[in-house]
Structures are given as structure tokens and as C-alpha cells.
Amino acid sequence: MKEGRLFAITLTFFTMALFWILLSGIFDAFHLISGLICCLIVTFLSHDLLVKGKSEKRLLKTLRLIRYIPWELWQIVLANIDVAYRVLHPKMPIDPRVIEFETPLRGEFSQVTLANSITLTPGTITIRVEPEQGKFLVHAISKEPADALLIDQGMQKRVAHVFMEE
């Protein structure tokens, strides 16, 4: 077995097992063993989806992605509060808009990560991605979330940092 394939299988298994254990919340022997067996089966079927081909600095990118996840979760919390405020406010300050922007991201996984991060954040949804040009078409609930993508570009910069596309 090639060293790259072994790394991909190992990384996929441990990532899936960690998420399964964290999300299941059940820690008895039967559920842990069953869950790990399922993770192993899915790992062999899909290891090339998470870690694809040869990539330099794969471990560093993985660590950066793990550090990105809590930041994204915090953005989701903040966006939930913002959307709740807009919905519950008597004047409902909702000003929907569709924006288009280009990003320097060219990697398939980096573009998918950005698109999913936008969609997971309440108040925004990715409508279309044109991978060759790095164009994103996004619906935003109001000006502020749109400006965060157009002007601030914090999410784009963080994803670029994770995948070393700065």
C-alpha cells in the first residue's frame, strides 16, 4: 500500500471516528465498537474523497482546517443571533440581495469549503460556484452579511489560509 493512500485512510478514519464519537454522545462498548466498525467501512469506501491525490503539507492543512472549524461554528452562532434579531424586530430589517464575487481560491476542496461555510451560516446561501473563474453567486438576507463577503472577506481569507492559497 502506498504511503499516501495509507495516510488518506488513516486521516479519514480518525476524522470520521472523532466526529462520530463527539456527535453520538453514547460511550458504551457496543455503540463505540459498532460506530468504529461503521467508520472503518465508510473509510475504505470514501477515503479518496477527503484526501485526494498527492498534496504537499497535508498534515498542516488538516490542522489548519481543524482550527477553522471552531471559528466557523462561532460565525454560525453570531449569524443565528443576527437572523433572529431581524425576524423578531418590529420593522424586520431584511433587505435581501444577490451578490457575486471572485475569490482567488482555485482548489476544489477550498472552494467547496467556502461554499459550504457560506451556506451553513444563517442569512447567506451559495447559489452557484464557477470553479474555473473562482466566482461565487450568493444570496444574503441583508447588506451586512453581503458586505462581510464582499468587503471584509474574512471567511475567504481564512479558507485561503487553511489551504495555503493566500
Q: Which three cell numbers stand for residue 19?
A: 466526529
The predicted pLDDT at position 166 comes to 79
The predicted pLDDT at position 50 comes to 66
Inter-residue contact 79 to 120 (CB < 8 Å): no
pLDDT at 17 over 60: yes
How far is residue 64 from each of residues 11, 78, 104, 141, measured CA to CA in Å? 14, 22, 18, 29
* Percent helix, strand and coil across the chain, each to the nearest 5: 65, 10, 25
pLDDT at 133 over 80: yes
Instruction: Give residue 3's pLDDT band: very low, low, confident or very high (50, 70, 90).
Output: low
Residue partners of 44: CB distance under 8 A and separation at least 6:
9
Spell out the domain ranges in the chain.
3-50, 58-162
d(CA 109, CA 156): 13
> Could you tell me the sign of the dihedral formed by the alpha carbons of 140, 143, 147, 148, in that order?
negative
d(CA 162, CA 87): 34
* Model pLDDT for residues 82-117, shown as the tens digit of each residue: 999 999 998 889 999 999 999 999 988 899 999 999
* Model pLDDT for residues 25-79, shown as the tens digit of each residue: 888 999 999 999 999 999 888 877 766 655 667 778 888 988 999 999 999 999 9
